[in-house]
A = this chain, B = another copy of it.
């Protein structure tokens, strides 16, 4: 039997402890599946004395993750601290410099520094694996990098932030406004310390940018992800969208088009009956579309100790088995700069407006749409007691520019009250 594979684990929070548990509880299983022993040699965390749900007394202790990364007695540096910069970055760089392979759950780190880290690792003949960084326990990095590697990828989509999906689902099911559910989620401990990472789509955007790099052979370009959070999603639109057969999801979409690479993380409507539309609560879902395979949908837990540790361990096992795959599925130096698409591909849009109860009002709205080159798929006007009536329109495919033109046009008609809401309908 070959030498044991020796791990140094940086970070003993929920995920780190989960990894320790798997290594301890499944030693024999791991030996059978990898042909060698997986051993934890050393660990690091902020506080050595903290009460943890795992026995770490048998491992060497380092207070400084950089020191851990450089230890002679580890082969793989497991980074489960988090944070785009600071110790996580310094320690990962140190690990590569010291000739270690790296397994990380850190989406922020890779979204911001993935290209540089991948180049450094490949120059040093080391690998960086990051299954746990995207969609928790769903083995989507592997599915994309390996399972679909015979395909030219066309589109990658996903609901990849469980907290946002929990909030949107709960708003719909309980009929509560965003602010109330946000507060609930905060009290339940579902939100990151900085909640904007969740609700502004940043965390999910990090994940999307990593999948896009693998899918399209482009350098990670998180800065090019068009981000829009869920803070403006109203309970009214959730209800109206449901009336029209849709649900609102914080949906990430990356696709390569003739106009460049599109990367969007934003509230979208999807058919309520589609797998994405059916997704409730904190579960994640990723949709991969390739030219040969068609559409593959993967669904599973996007966070939590067990699922995330499972993903970390899949990378450790891959390394233990001797597999050496480039960070983003092809050599980092062969990844090209993504040309960001200036505008999103055409799509149907959902429009909601308050129409004043005046003769000819609807005709004026229809004329504005016609002038903007937008045709109507479906329209619904609701009964009203007030001076204005809610009107919903589902358009045929059009551009965001045309929609913005129409919205300005509505304002000028004098028959549309307040701001018209427009939300993209993603065809899934």
Residues of A bordering B, CB below 8 Å = 18, 22, 26, 29-30, 32-35, 131, 137-139, 142-143, 146-152, 217, 273, 275, 278, 290-301, 304, 306-307, 309-314, 316-318, 321-325, 329-331, 334
A139 engages B147 (CB within 8 Å): yes
Cα–Cα, bound, A324→B2 (Å): 15
Min Cβ gap A315→B in Å is 9
A142's contact among B143, B292, B312, by CB below 8 Å, is which?
B143
A294's contact among B26, B275, B307, B312, by CB below 8 Å, is which?
B307
Cα–Cα, bound, A292→B307 (Å): 6
A310 engages B150 (CB within 8 Å): yes
Main secondary structure of the interface of A (DSSP, over half): mixed
B324 engages A322 (CB within 8 Å): yes
In chain B, what residue has the closest Cβ to A274?
B278
Stoichiometry (number of copies): 2
Min Cβ gap A103→B in Å is 11
B33 engages A330 (CB within 8 Å): yes
Instruction: With A35-B331, A306-B294 as known contacts, state yes or no: A142 contacts B146, CB within 8 Å.
Output: yes
A317's contact among B146, B290, B334, by CB below 8 Å, is which?
B146
Instruction: With A30-B150, A150-B313, A317-B150 as known contacts, state yes or no: A293 contacts B278, CB within 8 Å.
Output: no
Instruction: With A150-B316, A329-B33 as known contacts, state yes or no: A291 contacts B306, CB within 8 Å.
Output: yes
In chain B, what residue has the closest Cβ to A314?
B147
Instruction: With A33-B330, A217-B32 as known contacts, state yes or no: A296 contacts B138, CB within 8 Å.
Output: yes
A334 engages B32 (CB within 8 Å): yes
A139 engages B150 (CB within 8 Å): no
A152's contact among B29, B278, B318, by CB below 8 Å, is which?
B29
A152 engages B310 (CB within 8 Å): no
Min Cβ gap A343→B in Å is 27
B292 engages A150 (CB within 8 Å): no
